[in-house]
Amino acid sequence: MPIGMTLTKFLLEEQRKYPGSSGNFTGLFSDLVVAAKVISREVNRAGLIDILGATGSKNIHGEEVQKLDEFANNAVIKTMEHGGHLAAMASEEMDDIITIHSHYPKGRYLLLFDPLDGSSNIDVNVCVGTIFSILKCPPDGDATEADFLKPGVEQAAAGYILYGSSTMFVYTTGHGVHGFTLDPGVGEFILSHEDITVPERGGIYSINEANNKHWYPGTSLYIEKLKSADKPCTARYIGSLVADFHRNLLKGGVFLYPSDRKSKNGKLRLLYEANPLSFIAEQAGGRASTGDGRVLDVVPTELHQRTPLIIGSRLDVEEAEGFWKRQEAKPPLDLHP
Ligand code: AHG
Ligand code: MN
Ligand code: MN
C-alpha cells in the first residue's frame, strides 16, 4: 500500500482506472471530508463543551434529538449546500427533503444521510458515526421527494465516517470498499484499508437480545443455533449500527435488527442506514437481507421508511435467511412483491 495516499489522491486514481464509471466524486467527497472533520472535532471534545445531552425536541421518528445530532445535521447541510455537487439532500433528522437555495449552484447528485448514528452512545463516549448514500438526480427540473425513492441498487456511492478510537472514512463507488484513517497531525484521511473484504463466514453475532420476547421463531432458532454451534461464536452489540457494522465488516460476523412482533418493519431506516451499508456489504463480498430478500432491491415508498436488516458475512446472512423463511406466523413484509 502506498504511504501517505490521501482520499483525494485515491479518488483521482480510481477515476483514471474506471473512466466510464458512474461519476466524479472528488469534489463531492472533499466537501464531505470537511463535514467529517468538523463533526469529528466536536465529537472528540464533547465532554469539554456544552454539546452533550438532548435538545428537548423529537425528530420524525419520535426519537429525542441530541445536541450532537443537530450539530452534525447542520454541519453536513452547511458544508454540502454550496459545493455545486448536489441537487438536494435528505436527512434522517429532517421531515422533508432539503432543497439547494437558488443562489447556490446545483449539481447532479442527491445526498441522503444519517448525521449521527448511535446517538444514545454520545454521552458515554462510545463510537458514533455518520452514514451517507449518493444517488444520481434526474437532469430536468428541481429535485422532488420522488427522486429519492430509488432502490439501493441505484446508489452511485455510499459510505460512513466512524468517530471511534480513530476517525475513519469508509466508502464504495461500486469498485470495492476502501477505508481511510484521519491522521490528526496532518488533518488528512490516509488510505489504511484498501479493498476491504468481509470473511464469508464470521464468528460474531450482533443483535439486541433484550428484544427476544418479541422475536419470531426464526430469529430465536437462528440465535440458538449460533450459540450451540461447534464453531465458537461470540456476541457483540454496541448499539451504534455503524460501529457494529464496521467491526463485523473487518472481522466477519452478522448484524441483525429483524422484523419482530413489536417492530414489524424493524427499526433501522432504509434510505439512511440500511441501503448505504448494504451497498458496502455487497461490495465487500457480504450480503444484506430483509429476511425475505435483498435489501438493495426494495423499492422505497416513503423517505423515512424502516426495514428489517440482516447484514454481514455472506454465509451467515444466507443461513439466517434460511431460518427466517422457515419461521411460522411471520407477517408478510410486502417489501419484495
Ligand atoms: P440513530 O442514533 O441514528 O437514531 O440510530 C440508532 C440505531 C442504530 O445505530 C442502532 O443499531 C440501533 O438504533 C440500536 O437500537 P436498539 O437500542 O433498539 O438496540
Ligand atoms: Mn442511525
Ligand atoms: Mn441518527
Do the beta carbons of residue 212 and residue 224 sit within 8 Å?
no
Which tens digit of pLDDT belongs to each residue from 230-271? 887 999 999 999 999 999 999 999 999 999 999 999 999 999
Predicted local confidence at residue 20, as pLDDT = 67
Whole-number average pLDDT of the chain: 92
DSSP secondary structure string for all residues of 211-248 = GGGG--HHHHHHHHHHHH-SS--EE---S-HHHHHHHH
β-bridge pairing 204-206 and 234-235: parallel
Mean pLDDT of 39-53: 84
Q: At what angle do helices 26-44 and 7-17 cross, to 10 degrees?
A: 150
Give 19's pLDDT tier (boundaries 50, 70, 90): confident
Residue count of the chain: 337
Alpha helices in 45-200 (DSSP H): 67-80, 145-148
Residue 224 — very low, low, confident or very high, per pLDDT cuts 50/70/90? very high
Contact 296, 261 (CB under 8 A): no
Cα torsion through 236, 241, 242, 245, rounded to 10:
50
Per-residue pLDDT at 24 exceeds 60: yes
Ligand 2 center to residue 115 CA distance, Å? 8
**pLDDT at position 337:** 66
CA dist., res. 201 & res. 65, Å (int): 37
The answer to whether the CB of 287 falls within 8 A of the CB of 311 is yes
Q: Which domains does the chain have, with CATH numbers?
A: 7-193 (3.30.540.10), 204-326 (3.40.190.80)
Ligand 1 centroid distance, CA of 139 (Å): 35
Which pLDDT tens digit goes with each residue over 172-204?
Answer: 999 999 999 999 999 999 999 999 999 999 999
* pLDDT tops 80 at residue 50: no
- Cell numbers linked to 174: 461500486
| CA-closest residue to ligand 1 atom 12 | 239
Mean pLDDT for the stretch of residues 130-141? 92
**Closest C-alpha to 321, from 336, 310, 332, 308:** 310
Q: How confident is residue 23, by pLDDT bands cut at 50, 70 and 90?
A: low
| Residue 119 alpha carbon, nearest atom of ligand 1 | 2
CA distance 320 to 223: 9
Provide the CB-side half-sphere exposure for 261 (13 A, CA). Answer: 12
Q: What residues flank ligand 1, with Cβ below 6 Å?
A: 63, 92, 114, 117-119, 208, 239-241, 267
Strands 306-307 and 109-117: unpaired
pLDDT at 220 over 80: yes
Helices (H), the chain: 7-17, 26-44, 67-80, 145-148, 217-228, 241-251, 275-283, 314-326
Distance (angstroms) between ligand 3 centre and the Cα of 93 equals 7
Q: Is there a contact between 222 and 316 (Cβ–Cβ < 8 Å)?
A: no
pLDDT for the residue numbered 80:
96
pTM of the prediction?
0.95
269 CA distance to ligand 3 centroid (A)?
A: 9
- Among 4-8, 47-51, 317-321, the range scoring the smallest mean pLDDT is 47-51
Find, among 225, 215, 229, the residue nearest to 328 by Cα.
215
Widest pairwise Cα distance in the chain: 63
Residue 272 CA: which ligand 1 atom is closest? 3
Q: Which residues pair with 98 in a beta bridge?
A: 89
Per-residue model confidence as pLDDT tens digits over 96-116: 999 998 899 999 999 999 999
Alpha carbon of residue 16 to chain centroid? 27
Greater model confidence, 192 or 57: 192
210 vs 83: CA distance, rounded Å:
44
Strand, coil or helix: what is 178? strand
The pLDDT assigned to 65 comes to: 83
Instruction: Answer whether residue 334 shows pLDDT above 80.
Output: no
Per-residue confidence (pLDDT) for residue 288, from 0 to 100? 98
pLDDT at 331 over 90: no
User: Does residue 318 have a pLDDT over 60?
Assistant: yes
Instruction: Tell me which amino acid residue 281 is.
Output: A
